[in-house]
Structure 1
């Protein structure tokens, strides 16, 4: 058995599909299948079973998956330790940010990066969280800020900032909603929300689903800035992070009501690949992000 076989097996288990593992590993499917077969032959066990929707680990596969993750983690740390031993913090780093976050944080990150690493350069890529997660695990970016990313053995995540979602509407709205709106009362408002898959939509749908609240979604718009602009024209409401109420053109602020019982908070995470090609500078950049005053910058 070798580290390639172990990594391929972990990704296939995580993706529950050989074809989806191709997208993550950027390796032809026959090669992935062959490496997993060699692993099964050596271990004298069937590790995967085919289902109508892909594959899933057998009982033996689940048992081996536990060991495989530990071996993979140890190999990654061993590599990083040797890279740290010989390297200095220099080069080029690529950071992925959601567009709304990028507008607020990019000036502060670049300023601090230039101060600390004058011989290095930084690239800021702006994309939605779902796309940046795929870039991260394919080593196309070195680190990213993501909203509620699905877990992966190929990356580490830590919560950086949590922000309340609010019910937003034009200041001319009459009658205006109360200062606090219960989740059970959201059904009465015509809403503009992003379409799935989207982290805000998933949070709202999950919370409302738990309380059997059926929302009145009159339009689906996928970019927060466009949602804010649409809401600013009146006659509709939206559910967005508190800081987004000032994102309309001309800095026209929306009004908003707090959502309570329960409060809904998003989760902005700092994500890094466990086996990235530029880990030293990526971790140094991550330290800059950890040091930011998110509560102030996100206002």
Structure 2
């Protein structure tokens, strides 16, 4: 195998088909097919499986994919050092974000990267936090924002901020008459008695809520289980129950007068936000530049009310692995 074949193989897997990869690489499709056949013949095993939904790697192909990404990253670093990119980072950086954080962070971060580092191509991928973490473990992305600290070998996390979770309900039909004025505190044991519209048990937010309730010796009253925040908010606004979400997640509906919130007390519930980095793969200059900008943009958002209910942790940035 050579570097070109590995680049072709990674592109085929990422694009999901030979034709899309050929268009992306500006290479004839028969040439790509020939390269893959030669690789499979050299390695003595099938690397790709052609399904009705596209091309996916076999078990052997997944192993090759993982190593190929690391090798290609190393070549990128070598090219940067040779071409003197220390002063002007360039190249592609892949950042994974949960959808709710992407709504807050993506536009200001993309703007900051474009203005400060025009040669960096920032690719943002959105998914639930658990999927984002799996992408990071599989080296499909370079940086990730997740909702918990990671102690996996090969990954490290930076505790960036905590966001406050609040109890909220409708302003119209379905509003409960016996609650204190909106904006005041409401003990968790009182919140637990009210039917809630919450995500399913596999969702990270639900795990946090159940953990907090168990620690307080109480159980939540679950009325409905809905994973999408947008659907939860619409159901609550329609009078189908109450819920618990980050304060920033309901800021628009609250400004429109459709929802109002109470701060949860005894205990206050906060969700941590972490930035995950690899400690196995050396960072490219572009990745390190984006890592610095993520922290800078998050600081600015919190300090200027772009992320309501968030409290900065202000950690020191990790030092990327030294290049040899």
Query: Which deviates more from structure 2 when the two are superposed, residues 171-180 or residues 92-101?
Result: 171-180
Structure 1 position 219 matched with structure 2 position 218: no
The structure-2 alpha-carbon separation of the partners of 1:273 and 1:251, relative to structure 1 and needing over 3 Å to count, comes to farther
Pairing 1:77-116 to 2, within 5 Å after superposition = 86=82, 88=85, 89-116=89-116
Aligned residue for 1:151?
151
In the other structure, the counterpart of 1:31 is none
Alignment equivalent of 2:199, drawn from 194, 197, 205: 194
Structure 2 residue aligned with 1:123 = 123
Structure 1 residue 103, shift from structure 2 partner: 1.5
Q: 1:133 touches 1:149 (CA, 8 Å); kept in 2?
A: no
TM-score by length of 1: 0.69
> In 2, distance between residues paired with 1:230 and 1:269?
29
Alignment counterpart, residue 244 of structure 1, candidates 227, 249, 258: 249
What is the count of residue pairs matched by the alignment? 228
Secondary structure in 2 aligned to 1:291? helix
**Corresponding residue for residue 40 of structure 2:** none
The TM-score, its normalising length taken from structure 2, stands at: 0.64
Among 268, 285, 301, the alignment partner of 1:294 is 301
Structure 2 partner of 1:177: 179
**In the alignment, what sits opposite 1:205?**
210
Does structure 2 retain, via aligned residues, the 8 Å contact 1:159–1:269?
yes
- Aligned to 1:195, the other structure's residue is in SS state coil
Equivalents in 2 of 1:276, 1:99: separation in Å? 26
8 Å contact kept, 1:192–1:238: yes
Separation of aligned partners in 1, 2:292 and 2:77: 18
Range moving further from structure 2, 245-254 or 216-225: 245-254
Shift of 1:248: 4.8
| Alpha-carbon distance, 1:239 to partner | 0.7
Q: Residues of 2 paired with 1:83 and 1:147: CA distance?
A: 34
Asked whether the equivalents of residues 77 and 284 of structure 2 are also in contact (C-alpha less than 8 Å), the reply is: no
- After TM superposition, give the deviation of residue 251 of structure 1 in Å: 5.0
**Structure 1 stretches of 4+ moved >3 Å:** 25-28, 78-87, 247-253, 276-279
CA distance in 2, matches of 1:250, 1:281: 38
In the TM superposition, what is the alpha-carbon distance from 1:158 to its structure 2 partner? 0.8
C-alpha RMSD of matched pairs (Å): 2.9
What SS class does the counterpart of residue 289 from structure 1 fall into? helix
Give structure 2 stretches of 5+ with no counterpart.
1-57, 65-73, 309-324
Partner of 1:137: 137
Shift of 1:294: 3.0
For residues 174 and 184 of structure 1, do their structure 2 counterparts lie closer, same or farther at Cα, with a shift above 3 Å needed?
A: closer
